[in-house]
Amino acid sequence: MSEKYEQLKALLAEVADLNSAAAVLGWDQQVNMPPGGAEARGNAQATLGKIAHIKATSEEVGRLIEDLKAEFAGADPDSDEVRFVKVASRDYDQATKVTPEWVAEFAVVTARAHEAWVEARSKSEFSIFQPHLEKIVELGKQFVAFFPPSDHPYDILLDQFEPGMKTADVRAIFESLRPKQVELLRAIADAPQVDDSFLHLHYPDKQQWDFGVSVITKFGYDWKRGRQDKSPHPFTTSFSINDVRITTRVLEDFLNSALFGTMHECGHALYEMGVNQAYERTPLNGGASLAIHESQSRMWENLVGRSLPFWEHFYPSLQQTFPSQLGNVDLNTFYKGINKVEPSLIRVEADEATYNMHIMLRLEIEIGIVEGSMAVKDLPEIWNTKMKEYLGVVPPDDAQGVLQDIHWSGGMMGYFSTYALGNLVSAQLWEKINADLPDLADQIREGKFDALLGWLREKVHRHGRKYEPQELVQKITGSKIDAAPYVRYLTRKFSDIYGL
């Protein structure tokens, strides 16, 4: 390989190392750090972020990228080397538009905001978090201003998480999806409701934790390259292909939270662990986008974890773990209970049929904030009004309403739509997987996940950031992101459960 290519790899490897170090600090902040450490942690993250940004945007990096574009002209456009340069060029182009000072300030502000969010959520007082969120919104608008005008200012934020996707694209997908989901929800509402009271009994923390660990171990989570801890909001973080950590949240009065949260985060981790080892410390490491990432987490959580074949294997073990709670609950009742459709307050615990409604609500609010048609101070009221409109329920307090998600405290405006897009991609992939692995249901029924994980590793995981999301989905399924498979999946599943 050329000397310039090796030079660029070496420079960007240092940037990757700095970003990994910052990620360790972020993980520690949410898992171990005492609240009083927020100020110092913010300063440390600001320093690392600023140094990484300066290195990533150096003139030397820019020259090497341009030289390598010329050198690789005419080469295989899908080769790792050409794709490395293409991704590095996109990253460089975006990073050079943003000032190091903004990067440093963003790190300090979000570190403080996280601790304020934790306190505000615990006390259910939005006013504690409000000034921090106002500063984050201000920084978000500054970030948008660094870039050339786009069709919509929200495009710039969305592109950070979903490269190539436009606000108009997401709105079009959601507008086609929403009436179909509403139609399904109305049909379910007219059917006899299923019983899930047994999920709301007392389930001791340790047994929940141990059962979740046993499940994701069978999925293929590599404990030599990962660990699980507790945090206020479940998340996955990657410091390396060989160090990918997850967290979960255990509620002793609701079985679903830790159980499906653990599966969800494991799906993210399996993706990161499956990236081609040759991409370590390069721009190709990581997921293609947040929608592709969410397709993996939602697939393991829902299409696998909430399926009947899955519980035909695991339910006897769960009954043995919780005999007094589940001993008299038969498999079919349990399966229907964990898939109960009911408008609820908390997104991460929402059923599959209502989940996307939570996302559409958040997307509308984020767009309103960016456009300036909504003010941060009004968000609790706006949130509650839209919850009533979208789901027919009103949060009794801020903790179960506007404060429930961690994302805004980390400055992640533009993220939420990727959850719904991930749902759509998961169903597209699932149809292709079942065509390629016609006995998949039987394998899951036997507690075997090697073939499924192997398919995902080959088709999705190993490519890392090599392909843009729409490009990757097209390569695998033959079409770009499409809502139809997800609608088919939901209709088939819930028609069976509710006898529609």
Yes or no: say if 297 and 264 are a contact pair by the CB < 8 Å rule. yes
The torsion defined by the Cα of 69, 75, 76 and 77, in degrees rounded to 10, comes to 20
Burial of 111 (0-12, 13-18, 19+ CB in 10 A): buried
**Residue whose pair of structure tokens reads 């010329």 in the numeric block:** 70
Yes or no: say if 208 and 255 are a contact pair by the CB < 8 Å rule. yes
- d(Cα 491, Cα 481) in Å, to the nearest integer? 19
- d(Cα 185, Cα 190) in Å, to the nearest integer? 9
Active site residue 119: no
Helix (H) or strand (E) holding 356: helix 352-371
- d(Cα 68, Cα 63) in Å, to the nearest integer? 9
Yes or no: say if 56 and 12 are a contact pair by the CB < 8 Å rule. yes
- d(Cα 327, Cα 321) in Å, to the nearest integer? 9
Task: Report the chain's terminal Cα–Cα distance, integer Å.
Answer: 61
468, HSE (Cβ side, Cα atoms, 13 Å): 15
Q: Which of 115, 265, 294, 352 is catalytic?
A: 265
Distance of CA 141 to the CA centre of its chain: 23
| Residue 334 falls in which region: left (phi positive, over 0), alpha (psi -120 to 50) or beta | alpha
Helix (H) or strand (E) holding 239: strand 236-240
- Which two structure tokens, joined as six digits, stand for 22? 């910052």
* 243-248 and 228-230 strand pairing: parallel
- Which two structure tokens, joined as six digits, stand for 352? 């599959």
- d(Cα 455, Cα 91) in Å, to the nearest integer? 29
List, by residue number, the catalytic residues.
265
